[in-house]
Structure 1
């Protein structure tokens, strides 16, 4: 007769200790499912943090921290541009309901079927919190804001109309040339108490206008 019980118990205990070490009690765990928030829910702070975390994770989970911060900067910078949605969730999920034209490919290419790895999600969430805090303090404004990027193994044609700024990890980031800069949206100051007001979002509203404005900047690995 064999007695496998103690060995199995020891192995399970060791695995539990590893999981506890990797995922402390205060770590942020991934949601069980991820989908675009609806209506006014897209503008509340918790939803915006989740949207930013989601984009950081699916776009740059394995990138250096500086690369994750740059992805977050692109999203936050777009909320200030009049030709993008005014909310973080609106920017992240822009065009996701169309067959083509999603701004961030993970929102329409099936990537969301892969549940995030817990420790990588927690890291992305920490980056999102930090970047949101800096943005609220008014430290996000840039004279030549990063608005686009693509992976270094592709060469989209739209990059020729932009100004290359920096390469971080596998991503190359761009700003608009002076002649191509659109009007910026007036943003609240760091001391403003009023909550953000969402513009008509992309979920079933004004999709044609969004599409015509963004034809030159497609989804996929080019943002």
Structure 2
């Protein structure tokens, strides 16, 4: 995460945890999709106007509103768009991929990877306002995950919606042991989510995949 991401992340958010009620969120978004869509429009334009509760509703609710093929779409676009955008690129290359990148963003605006890549594209284009918006959107998603739970117990798991975000939590075990000490346990919860417990030495991390696998 570059310096700009770090500064905005630190200045913008607190440190409290907010437990995620999967069944309640699923019920609310499916019964009232217009509320979800309203929050999504706010997120696209000015996420600062969303409370943490609204971000929880939006981010975790997207698990039950999406088509389920967002990962395949991202992978299909990777070679042509995101591989270019992942690193600093020239203005001319950014201009060539902009239209397709914005179309992909419109289909999956809560995707962390897309948001980070969009900020890179706008930076290459010297579009500061759109870069800052993409950065803030990215941090709003990261912050929502971070505030979902401490990860220290089954009662306070870190809640994510993509399997890749479950696996990434393994990085937080570094320094607590060796690969030989690593353990992983998984179980499905009554709400359809999957709880994964990673451990190494005395360190344990509890991660909930909201809604389970897609």
Question: Which TM-score bucket, shorter chain as reference?
Answer: under 0.3
Larger relative helix fraction: 2
Larger Rg: 1
Larger RCO (CA under 8 A, 6+ residues apart): 1
